[in-house]
Amino acid sequence: MDSGRNLDSILRIPVTIQVVLGSATMPVSNLMKLGRGAIVPLDHRVGEPVDVVVNGRVIARGEVVVVEDDNSRFGISLTEIVGPPTNDLVG
């Protein structure tokens, strides 16, 4: 009985979910020149899967989609669940 209550407590813990569309590297001098309307090219291309990150760890990959009932919002269609990292030792 107690384990069910513990599980319920765990399932209510909030987590932060992020979807990483890509990244870019640039010198601070270029960063300082950015203004409204500037475009920063990312390392991902259209159609490539994006990473779904929970509390700093990639847990899945997916495709960006438009939410059906609200065309002004995006969502993610999961295409791959990433397993836990393996600790393979070279020996």
Domain ranges of the chain: 13-81
Residue 80 has pLDDT above 60, yes or no: yes
Q: Are 50 and 62 in contact (CB under 8 A)?
A: yes
Q: Are 63 and 77 in contact (CB under 8 A)?
A: yes
Residue-wise pLDDT tens digits, 13-67: 998 899 988 899 999 999 999 999 999 999 988 888 999 999 889 999 999 888 8
- Assigned CATH class of 13-81: mainly beta
Q: Are 58 and 51 in contact (CB under 8 A)?
A: yes
- pLDDT at residue 21 in the model: 87
- Alpha-carbon span 89 to 81, nearest angstrom: 24
- Alpha-carbon span 19 to 41, nearest angstrom: 17
Tokens of 53: 């990150």
User: pLDDT-based confidence at 3, cuts 50/70/90?
Assistant: low
